[in-house]
A and B are shown apart, each in its own frame.
Chain A
Amino acid sequence: MGNRAPLPLMLMILAAVFAFLYLPISVLFALSFNEGGMPTAWSGFSVKWYYSLFANKDITHAALNTLIVAVISTILAAILGTLLAIGVDIRRRKGRFLETIIFAPMIIPDIVLAIALLSFFSLLDVTMGLHTIIVSHVVFNLAFVCSVVRARLKGFDWSIVEASTDLGAPILVTLRRVVIPVLMPAVVAGSLLAFTLSVDEFIIAFFTAGAGRASITLPMQIFSMIRFGVTPEINALSAIVMTLSVVMLALAQRINRGRLPGQ
């Protein structure tokens, strides 16, 4: 931008916005190491809340469930989303209907998709549990992987693929030897993002988990804990969950930065 905007003002705006974005999170982090557990008085550094977290069976159970859901739904979404992205890119002719369907999972309000899936599963008399959460998470995860992969495919020269097929390689070989290597960074980055989304997703999991505590996920556990008030354990759990997301995002950013070969 060529606007010679007054620099001090711009710096002040940035400082204020970043303070607003980061102060609340930082307070949580700091409090999770507060020995006394009181939100208002600092009584010394301690990691005891993290220990008590790992001793809490409810939380470890929920964490395990979350891991199962996130890993399986991410793998499925990575496969489906990548194939979809390739298909859409090859097709060239842009269909409005197709675009809408692919884009929809990202913009439909969570609550609407959640109740729609709940109604769908219960009308079909499907017993709900981790498997229904997985199936539901794949919906938005695949849309996500698809959009990341499509972004990378922009500017990809399909004539390389044509060259490969013209030279007699079957389509699957071409996919494996030519297309996949180019796409891998985007697929991995998209999968990391999808994994993060799945770990953090609360509303859809909440509605499709079915009754009882058997298939409770970490966000569901956090939600029910928060409703009982502020505890040092939630602070510690929050710090862990947040760190995980940040690491995933940073990793995804790093992996997907490389340019396409041949450009």
Chain B
Amino acid sequence: MADRKPLYLMTPALVWLSLFMVIPCLLILALAFFRRGIYGGIEYDFTFENIALVFDPLYAGIFIKSAIIAGQAALIASVVGYAAAYAIAAMPKSRQPLLLFLAILPFWSNYLVRTYAWIVLLNREGLIVSVARALGYNQELPSLLYTETAVIVGLVYNYLPFVILACYAPLARMNAEITEASRDLGAGGWTTFRRITLPMTVPGIATGFVFVFVLSIGNFVTPALLGGGQFQMIGNLVYAQFLTANDWPFGAALSMALIAIMMGLLTLQTFATERASGGRVRDADG
């Protein structure tokens, strides 16, 4: 077919994406270098103040705090998600599609509703407290809702299905002969897992981890609902700059930092994936 055809097929979508994604994002990038007006507008003179403010200890602290929470959520989700994916892949082949579908299903239900479910469970008159009471635990329970733990639980809950999906793909693709060869050569189950299965499925874990981390660090719904405004994460800070504090340039600078973190992690993940596949080639040669 002629080379011109793909272009006019792609044009409408590419124009749409340019207009409503690329340009707005570039606009945000530009906004980060302008000054905030006295009455909250934007003054168009060039400044690095907003970027510098991101590194101010107060805000850098929020970044670190968000990264720690996102890191914990990503770590827990990766371990649990990998275990779940491994278990699914160990089931009979005919059952696997259904199990995988059931694992992903919650991911497609409304994010707010899934988060709200945890408010129902964790609140002061919630199910967990009343079950504890019914079991005879009468002491004053520490508040479960509006804590850091609640936020982490909420994030893990919401993003776990994705990790299962990401880890399942490489696990299912693994060639049975390789692990069997390892066993035939005398390696135990654990050694085979540690030396063969795990290294070969690192890309899936990396994808899952990065995904959960990126979505968590910029999240503002979960901290707002399960953290109850007890502490701020970057997402909440960005939200506040645009909707309450009216400091758009600073909000823009914060989201640029968010994007920078994200791109850095995605690059690392690509690197990890390439290394893992490179390792496989070397092994085959050796």
Chain A residues near B (Cβ < 8 Å): 1-5, 7, 10-11, 13-14, 17-18, 20-22, 24-25, 27-28, 31, 39-40, 79-81, 83-84, 86-88, 90-91, 101-102, 104-105, 107-113, 115-120, 123, 135-136, 138-139, 142-143, 146, 158, 161-162, 165, 171, 193, 196, 199-200, 202-203, 207, 219, 222-223, 226-227, 229-230, 234-235, 238, 241-242, 245-246, 248-249, 253
Task: Pick the interface stretch among B45-53, B250-258, B273-281.
Answer: B250-258
Is B160 within 8 A of A87, CB to CB? no
- Chain A residues closer than 8 Å to B118, beta-carbon distance: 24
A3 / chain B contacts, CB cutoff of 8 Å = 90, 179, 189, 192-193, 197
Listed by A's residue number, 24 A-B pairs whose Cβ atoms lie within 8 Å are A3-B193, A10-B86, A10-B87, A13-B83, A13-B87, A14-B87, A39-B120, A39-B123, A84-B9, A87-B9, A88-B6, A110-B218, A112-B258, A115-B238, A117-B20, A120-B20, A142-B17, A143-B17, A171-B5, A193-B108, A222-B116, A230-B123, A238-B116, A241-B109
Bound CA span A84–B103, Å:
30
Which of the residues B10, B215, B242 comes within 8 Å of A88, measured between beta carbons? B10
Whether A238 lies near B28 (C-beta < 8 A) is: no
With A and B bound together, what is the CA distance between A161 and B262 in angstroms?
40
Give the chain B neighbours of A246 by CB distance below 8 A: 105, 108-109
- Smallest beta-carbon distance A32→chain B, Å: 10
Q: Which residues of B contact A5 (CB under 8 A)?
A: 86-87, 90, 189
Contact of A230 among B108, B120, B172 (CB under 8 A): B120
Residues of A within 8 A of B17 (CB): 101-102, 104-105, 139, 142-143
> Considering the chains assembled together, what is the distance between the CA atoms of A171 and B84 in angstroms?
48
**A contact face: mostly helix, strand, loop, or mixed:** helix
Q: List chain A residues, Cβ under 8 A from B123.
A: 39, 229-230
Interface string of B98-111 (1 = CB under 8 A from A): 01011101101111
> Assuming the A-B contacts A3-B179, A90-B6, are A111 and B218 also in contact, with contact meaning beta carbons closer than 8 angstroms in the complex?
yes
Which B196-240 residues have C-beta < 8 A from chain A? Answer: 197, 214-215, 218-221, 224-225, 235, 238-239
* With known contacts A112-B25, A117-B24, A107–B172 Cβ distance under 8 A: no
A40 to B128, CA, bound (A): 9
Instruction: List chain B residues, Cβ under 8 A from A135.
Output: 20
Given A84-B13, A196-B108: 5 more A-B contacts, CB < 8 Å: A14-B91, A17-B84, A120-B20, A142-B13, A253-B101
Q: How far is the CA of A111 from the CA of B24 in the complex (A)?
A: 13
Q: Report whether A226 and B225 are in contact in the complex, using a CB–CB cutoff of 8 Å.
A: yes
Are A203 and B220 in contact, CB atoms less than 8 angstroms apart? yes
Pairwise interchain contact B160-A21, C-beta atoms closer than 8 A: yes
B151 on interface, CB distance cutoff 8 Å: no
What CA separation (Å) do A109 and B91 show in the bound complex?
A: 35
B152 on the interface (CB 8 Å rule)? no
B177 interface residue per 8 A CB criterion: yes
- Determine if A90 and B255 form an interchain contact, defined as CB atoms under 8 angstroms apart: no
Q: List, in ascending order, chain B residues with CB within 8 A of A28's CB.
A: 113, 116-117, 120
B136 at the interface (CB under 8 A from A): no
Checking B6, B83, B90, B113 against A238 with a beta-carbon cut-off of 8 angstroms, the contacting residue is B113
Contact of A120 with B87 in the complex, beta carbons under 8 Å: no
Residues of the A chain whose Cβ atoms lie less than 8 Å from the Cβ of B106: 21-22, 25
Find out whether the CB atom of A81 lies under 8 angstroms from the CB atom of B110: no
Q: How many Å from the CB of B191 to the closest CB on chain A?
A: 12
Question: How long is the Cα–Cα vector from A106 to B245 in the complex, in angstroms?
Answer: 28
Is B186 close to A, CB under 8 A? no
B120/A115 in contact, CB under 8 A: no
* Also in contact, A242 and B113, with CB within 8 A (given A1-B171, A24-B120): yes
Partner of A111, one of B111, B189, B220, B225: B220
